[in-house]
Amino acid sequence: MRRIAACCRQVGAVGGGLAIVWVLAGIVNAEYMQPDLEKIPLKRLIENLEAKVKDAPKDPEPLRHLARAYGMAYAAGLNDDSVVERWKGRDEVWFGFEPRPVPYAPPTGADPSGGKSRAFLGRAIECYKAALELDGTHLVTLLGLAWCTAQTVQKEEAVKLYREVLAEAWKQEGKRTFGGLGHFVTVETAGYLKRLLDPKTDGKEIAELDEKVKRLESLPRAITPVAVPLQDGLSRAELVDPRGVAFDLDGTGRRLRWQWIRPCAAWLVYDHDGSGRIASAVQMFGSRTFLLFMEHGYAAMALLDDDGNGTLEGRELEHLALWQDLNANGLSEPGEVKPLSAWKIVALSCRAETDADGSRCNGRGVTFEDGSVRATYDLVQRQAE
CB-based burial, 319-358: b 16+ in 10 Å, e otherwise: bbbbbbbeeeebebeeebbebbeebebbbbbbebbeeeee
Question: What pLDDT is attached to residue 26?
Answer: 28
Give me the mean pLDDT over the 260-279 stretch.
Answer: 94
pLDDT tens for 154-212 read 999 999 999 999 999 999 999 887 666 567 899 999 999 999 999 999 999 999 999 99
Question: What pLDDT is attached to residue 287?
Answer: 76
pLDDT tier, 293 (very low <50, low <70, confident <90, very high otherwise) = low
Of the two residues 12 and 352, the one the predictor is more confident about is: 352
Question: What pLDDT is attached to residue 7?
Answer: 29
The pLDDT mean for the chain works out to 82
Residue 185 CB burial class (10 angstroms; 0-12, 13-18, ≥19):
buried
CB-based burial, 51-77: b 16+ in 10 Å, e otherwise: ebbeeeeeebbbbbbbbbbbbbbbbbb
Asked which of 11-20, 42-51, 169-178 is least confident by mean pLDDT, the reply is 11-20
Question: What pLDDT is attached to residue 83?
Answer: 74
**303: which DSSP letter?**
G
Give me the mean pLDDT over the 3-7 stretch.
Answer: 29
Q: Is it the case that residue 35 has pLDDT exceeding 90?
A: no
Q: Is it the case that residue 294 has pLDDT exceeding 90?
A: no
pLDDT tens for 210-235 read 999 999 988 766 678 999 999 999 99
Question: What pLDDT is attached to residue 81?
Answer: 76
Of the two residues 3 and 150, the one the predictor is more confident about is: 150
Question: Is the distance from CB of 287 to CB of 297 less than 8 angstroms?
Answer: yes
Percentage of residues of the chain with pLDDT beyond 70: 79
Instruction: Compute the distance between CA of residue 229 and CA of residue 220 in angstroms, rounded to an integer.
Output: 26
Instruction: Compute the distance between CA of residue 209 and CA of residue 206 in angstroms, rounded to an integer.
Output: 5
Q: Is it the case that residue 364 has pLDDT exceeding 90?
A: yes
Q: Which span out of 8-22, 81-95, 313-327 was modeled with the highest average pLDDT?
A: 313-327
Instruction: Compute the distance between CA of residue 212 and CA of residue 317 in angstroms, rounded to an integer.
Output: 44
Q: Which long-range contacts (CB under 8 A, 24 or more apart) does 68-71 make?
A: 68/92, 68/93, 68/95, 68/103, 68/124, 68/144, 69/42, 69/45, 69/93, 70/46, 70/120, 70/121, 70/123, 70/124, 70/127, 71/102, 71/104, 71/120, 71/121, 71/124, 71/144, 71/147, 71/148
Give me the mean pLDDT over the 125-130 stretch.
Answer: 97
Give me the mean pLDDT over the 21-29 stretch.
Answer: 27
Q: Is it the case that residue 318 has pLDDT exceeding 90?
A: yes
pLDDT tier, 116 (very low <50, low <70, confident <90, very high otherwise) = confident
Of the two residues 18 and 330, the one the predictor is more confident about is: 330
Q: Is it the case that residue 131 has pLDDT exceeding 90?
A: yes
